[in-house]
Structure 1
């Protein structure tokens, strides 16, 4: 008999597994649907490009057709491997803006203000720059400056300064605004996922049992209490039971799916799929939102330091393979999106509402479309979208992927901010620091000069930058799914701990915030423990 059952071996699940098993008397099972994180493509930072191109270690999710994207289906890469999306992502360490967390608290979620969550960011972090008022140096998650940054990343920062933006050495420090180099979750030239930081060092703990290849099919309820989990493992249907709590950490797409498969969710929707509504909860799967993003690609044959298919590029890549294998250094230690920035769509904005990611290669269709030659790209994403969608069941079969509908660009405000952002991004890329390469904006966006043309280019090209959230949101109203302790409303012994609980998206990449959420949740869980 276990004390806790954790569903999902992604960032949040890994944190909880490590923190709860610090007590040798607490027994924990961690269930991950994917395999162990053994692939070299995970551990070599540049391997993310290969995983993206061939959709490796993921669920194979796409959105339903999006009216705001001219009827296109968007790509939704979610990790199906130990470490979850932290084993696939671009390893950028950003937290969002303090106002994001203060907004959570102001909307009726005590304990979630920036001042109250900052200690958990610091607790998680081992920043190689050292500790200060904003950073920790004793935590499990290694954060560092890139070991071998590409020279074009610095040129992008210079271009941003030339365009009038301040250089910012720390997006997680006193101010978020400006352009600069991202810190990354690397260590010694390798990816440092949540699995590597939190679970791998503790696999020998006798009170931790990890099940990989374990697809959760439902949470077991006894009256109004979660008492166990049913899952598919090695071709068999199995059950585990727990004495304390089930902790659902399957992410913003799968967490609401698992709740609904378990009879927890919107009553009419469950009945449509012949699922008995054991605990009607209308907000499950609602309020999904994501960072919508559009990329400008520049063809620049003279920019030979970028990643590209060419004879010189192949020679550099072969050297990079040798450098990484022998010394864990060189060009394969890149995360591709090495630099970026946080900017305002207009001076009237209180805080940055747009984020830039500069990529040292020509990024088309999430890197899944092969293109010859050299060049660079830049993303601009909308940090606080006003468009909200849903996650719904496709069927009652747990093997069937859910229906993901972020309803991108449903809000006119989102469209107008992204148009402004696209023009600001174009202005940065035109500055002398990058213009020296004589690059040419690819046709897909180059012809778009008026606001109307840019809007159509955005609708033809925009997609997620991989930050779905909010589908089991925290709050006190009738559409909230969990309370400020992350307990599912109306049930005992069940919490949700992942990006799905975010009342609103944070203004930045979401991996560090999810790790913070789990660090805080671990303390909430420990504080609630009663003697057995």
Structure 2
């Protein structure tokens, strides 16, 4: 059996793994091995911003996960995209860069993740980005990820912004550097010129020239290797079926994501005893919180047929699409540079004391209101999700087969507050699109349609047509109680030589899109590993020692 050795072995080259590989290998005397089950990010749709709609269930660049069917979601299995390959989900997401509310991160510390407050984390948001639109006290100017405004959005987008202001929302010029109440604004994209600025392109590609960084693709990690509770490395298999033993002198860091991380822990005998017993795996370290606490944003869309305004629909078919392709090649502009949405908004329902619904508004509409195929006739869509859902689900292995998909049960809409908030969010969205500035373009509401007038009808539409926004977090949460999987330094409880750095450690979901926060988390984790004092955790470490 072939053996490789490094100081740090990172499992998973998604957003967090790419950041860690880059930052840890900055020290020339430290050897780093980064392992990825997928392949290099060569698919052309990865790099074309609008190409993400063709990748969400792609057979090679995603894991092709689906949720368990649920009564609350109309008995449907819901597509659950997770990126597979260098860059992970940052290579297939909708490119939307939205930082959380300060209260979101502060709640982590209040729940037991000492030192994880917004003031401590803000510098790492800035460290990860280059904001291309000028200087700001809260924005980064020399980070790897390029963040920019949408250039020349369709005119109908300005009408949506004006309509939201008529409905009582404030306009924000930069939603990522101000205190945010109910508001309307333009989304910012992780885009460098005409290309996606993924974690692989921004962080990993420049670092791969370093002799102390080894990137292994097409390698499936099957389990952690342990001596007692000391993790010493991982066992993996190549695509040809050849075994590989990879040893870590200092630490193994799992960055396999909200699904892959708890799966690997459970396959290695770390988790809830009942789950492991049912899968035929001996418990090595009992950790009942592994795989629990799954949280996600659940989105449903309003759709409108429009006239008198250009939308992406009619520019995405036939000769019009051919012209857009040429426009993209020649000038790097046009519909192929659009991301998942162009206009965003925060609104507040009667159930909350601060904004609790977010809108993703796009100058295009999808068949049946579900993201995928754009309609041929002009249309506009308005997605709505509840920002801080109360529903909690789980991810658990079904067997000891490393190739088998785990059970993914987000338990969407299982909490009454979530159901009520989604219905109110649709009503607020309708109010915005009833304002004169946008109503003059509206022919009809296509989904759910004006026949859906009662709360019951709207809730049924939510159940039958909602989907994930790809923001899942929390399955190996950080904290100081028995259900937390990692401590405030992201070390796995009950183990030595093992950390987790990815969205699974978030104690609670951020109100907004999550990728910006995963970048921050990985930046701060790299600093914690290299220098806990500089990361602001000196007091926490001494407290734990006492």
TM-score tier, shorter chain, comes to over 0.9
Map of 1:124-523 to 2, 5 A cutoff? 124-177=128-181, 178-235=183-240, 236-300=242-306, 302-308=308-314, 314-346=318-350, 349-364=352-367, 366-369=370-373, 371-523=375-527
Equivalent residue of 2:360, what SS? strand
Deviates more, 1:95-104 or 1:173-182: 173-182
| Residue of structure 1 in register with 2:47 after alignment | 43
User: 1: CA distance between counterparts of 2:522 and 2:370?
Assistant: 29
User: 2: CA distance between counterparts of 1:209 and 1:18?
Assistant: 11
Report how many aligned residue pairs link the two structures: 526
Which residue, 23, 27, 31 being the options, matches 2:27? 23
Deviates more, 1:256-265 or 1:54-63: 54-63
Could you report, residue by residue, the CA deviation over 1:344-366 in whole angstroms, capped at 9, with x for unpaired residues? 113x7332111000022112464
| Residue of structure 2 in register with 1:84 after alignment | 88
Contact 2:419 2:459 in 1 (8 A): yes
Change (3 A) 1:53 1:155: farther
Which stretches in structure 2 are left out of the alignment for 5+ residues? Answer: 534-546
Change (3 A) 1:491 1:528: farther
User: 2: CA distance between counterparts of 1:443 and 1:413?
Assistant: 23
Contact 2:502 2:518 in 1 (8 A): yes
User: 2: CA distance between counterparts of 1:259 and 1:339?
Assistant: 39
User: 2: CA distance between counterparts of 1:67 and 1:305?
Assistant: 35
Contact 1:151 1:305 in 2 (8 A): no
For residue 302 of structure 1, report the CA deviation from its aligned partner: 4.3
For residue 55 of structure 1, report the CA deviation from its aligned partner: 6.0
Deviates more, 1:423-432 or 1:285-294: 423-432
Calculate the TM-score normalised by the size of structure 1: 0.96
Could you report, residue by residue, the CA deviation over 1:240-292 in whole angstroms, capped at 9, with x for unpaired residues? 00101111111111110111011110011111111111111100000101111
Contact 1:120 1:519 in 2 (8 A): yes
| Residue of structure 1 in register with 2:542 after alignment | none
Contact 1:43 1:190 in 2 (8 A): yes
CA RMSD of aligned residues (A): 1.7
User: 2: CA distance between counterparts of 1:390 and 1:336?
Assistant: 27
Equivalent residue of 1:417, what SS? helix
Could you report, residue by residue, the CA deviation over 1:224-250 in whole angstroms, capped at 9, with x for unpaired residues? 111111122132221200101111111
| Residue of structure 1 in register with 2:65 after alignment | 61
Equivalent residue of 2:339, what SS? coil
Change (3 A) 1:8 1:513: same
User: 2: CA distance between counterparts of 1:306 and 1:482?
Assistant: 44
Contact 2:25 2:213 in 1 (8 A): yes
Calculate the TM-score normalised by the size of structure 2: 0.93
User: 1: CA distance between counterparts of 2:104 and 2:380?
Assistant: 31
Equivalent residue of 1:259, what SS? helix
Could you report, residue by residue, the CA deviation over 1:163-196 in whole angstroms, capped at 9, with x for unpaired residues? 1100111211222230110111001121100111
For residue 203 of structure 1, report the CA deviation from its aligned partner: 1.2
User: 2: CA distance between counterparts of 1:496 and 1:259?
Assistant: 10
Equivalent residue of 2:517, what SS? helix
Deviates more, 1:102-111 or 1:379-388: 102-111
